[in-house]
Structure 1
């Protein structure tokens, strides 16, 4: 299995199309709580340096205006949870999140983009991470679940053939856990005084499907298993490395696209302000995460 800069890279199993599709969803956007154990969280002081790492679930594609200087494919919204929590707590934010990113793209360069982790230094006092879904083709599989094999789905002016969702290999899950552990270790080495917080992915699928989430029972089961195992891996890594976890998956169980107050978008792009690209958090979801994160960090107002 190939390695790059100490990062283990899992071999793809039919995931090339899904990977390209996930990146196309991000391009479409450019144009269209509990801590480990019961230990109380120490407050992060106003003015502290805050580095946000992760994929599109942190970047906020589809939420409106993007942060000045953002690489087009990264879609770092001014309304994403890193921006909201930094404004609320008066932190100095360095947002390195990027749509489509995997853990390897945090730990190493990604094309023209430098490693996200390079922003973490000795002056950093807070690091948040939301990543892992792209490593498992989580969103790509969800998109494929909404179209019939033999047809196609279009994003960013490009057409992709619909294929059957592919379950991640066991080695892919194991690779993700090893790389997340390496990520936590790198943060500790680069920023010994920083608080590391893993923010879980929002729950996307309800117990009973609706027009926003229609798919076969088999595809729904695959997506739910992927989400459950991603959350469990993140929890284990946090427990082993002393990091904090914001259990956004549990907080959002009654806020799927099928619920009265959704925190995420289903399989239909939203035309409403504060909407999102398919299968991503909307403005309400980012607001809820920011609130939970600020409370966990000891912020009161």
Structure 2
């Protein structure tokens, strides 16, 4: 268990930052005041340093600046007692491909007026699959992040928190998931392989794994209580959502699983 008042550093991309969830505490980073790191810190009374940043890749965690922000790893020091890491999806263009595919399908629908061939050409502009090398490289980078954290904070607990499921058994093509029955399995495969990246990185590095990807499939888009958003062309300011990202319920669920891990060990 992490003692109250301990330093907690949160690293990651938008699935940790929480874009679109009010209140926004850092507009450039798309960082919410109700993301899972904030909820965990409040629950356990931790001293949070939240450097999560929407759009971050593993390179932004390790070596690269993002806008005016330093590499996220710089926030980790000897006094750090807990680090959570949620990153890697942007390396694989996971959600990016999902959003582009949904946009292209939305555009292709009216294009059928010009013929099915035109519509299919629009849909075909998005590829949902990556080769094995991309997944292996992302696994290696996540493991490298863990090793670098351990060098900077030898006593810290390090949790790899993977991605909430967007596609699940109840997800079907519809207005807020504008993909067809042939495209959805490809997105689901990308999600499963990303979950495998986290599991492999945890095994290679010795980090703890919080595998919310599996337990959240029953709460994917189309379920009675979704933990992620669907597709929308409207921004949150106009009543829309950030497509295919955690919602408030999802962030609460991730925080609960992280706290359980810290208090009781792996589920």
Q: TM-score range by the shorter chain?
A: 0.7 to 0.9
Query: Match of 2:42?
Result: 87
Query: Match of 1:101?
Result: 56
Distance 2:140 2:198 in 1: 11
Query: Match of 1:250?
Result: 214
- SS of the aligned residue for 2:165 comes to coil
With over 3 angstroms needed to count, the CA separation of the structure-2 counterparts of 1:276 and 1:86, relative to structure 1, is farther
Distance 1:46 1:215 in 2: 46
* Pairwise CA distance, 1:291: 1.0
* Pairwise CA distance, 1:180: 0.9
Distance 1:180 1:148 in 2: 31
Within a 5 Å distance, the mapping from 1:156-235 to structure 2 comes to 163-207=125-169, 208-211=171-174, 212-235=176-199
Distance 2:106 2:198 in 1: 35
8 Å contact from structure 2 (residues 173, 180) kept in 1: no
Query: Match of 1:283?
Result: 248
Distance 1:261 1:149 in 2: 25
Distance 1:144 1:82 in 2: 28
Query: Unaligned 5+ residue runs, structure 2?
Result: 109-121
8 Å contact from structure 1 (residues 264, 276) kept in 2: no
- SS of the aligned residue for 1:263 comes to coil
Q: What do the CA deviations read for 1:71-97 (whole angstroms, capped 9, x no partner)? A: x33111000000000001000000010
Distance 1:241 1:257 in 2: 32
Q: 2:226 aligns with which of 228, 249, 262?
A: 262
Query: Unaligned 5+ residue runs, structure 1?
Result: 1-42, 153-160
8 Å contact from structure 2 (residues 62, 72) kept in 1: yes
Q: Does 1:77 align with 2:39?
A: no
- TM-score by length of structure 2 reads 0.85
With over 3 angstroms needed to count, the CA separation of the structure-2 counterparts of 1:166 and 1:206, relative to structure 1, is closer
* Pairwise CA distance, 1:165: 2.6
8 Å contact from structure 1 (residues 146, 215) kept in 2: yes
8 Å contact from structure 2 (residues 128, 187) kept in 1: no
Query: Match of 2:201?
Result: 237
Greater displacement, 172-181 / 208-217: 208-217
- SS of the aligned residue for 1:279 comes to coil
Q: Does 1:118 align with 2:83?
A: no
With over 3 angstroms needed to count, the CA separation of the structure-2 counterparts of 1:80 and 1:209, relative to structure 1, is same
- SS of the aligned residue for 2:191 comes to helix
Q: What do the CA deviations read for 1:50-86 (whole angstroms, capped 9, x no partner)? A: 000000000000001222xx3x331110000000000
- TM-score by length of structure 1 reads 0.76
* Pairwise CA distance, 1:167: 2.1
Q: What do the CA deviations read for 1:232-287 (whole angstroms, capped 9, x no partner)? A: 11111112222111111112111112011110001126869x98411000000000
* Pairwise CA distance, 1:206: 2.2
- SS of the aligned residue for 2:209 comes to strand
- SS of the aligned residue for 1:146 comes to helix
- Number of aligned positions between the proteins: 246
Q: Does 1:140 align with 2:122?
A: no
Q: Relative CO higher for 1 or 2, CA cutoff 8 Å, sep ≥ 6?
A: 1
Distance 1:150 1:262 in 2: 22
CA RMSD of aligned residues (A): 2.4
- SS of the aligned residue for 2:222 comes to coil
Distance 1:138 1:199 in 2: 16
- SS of the aligned residue for 1:197 comes to strand
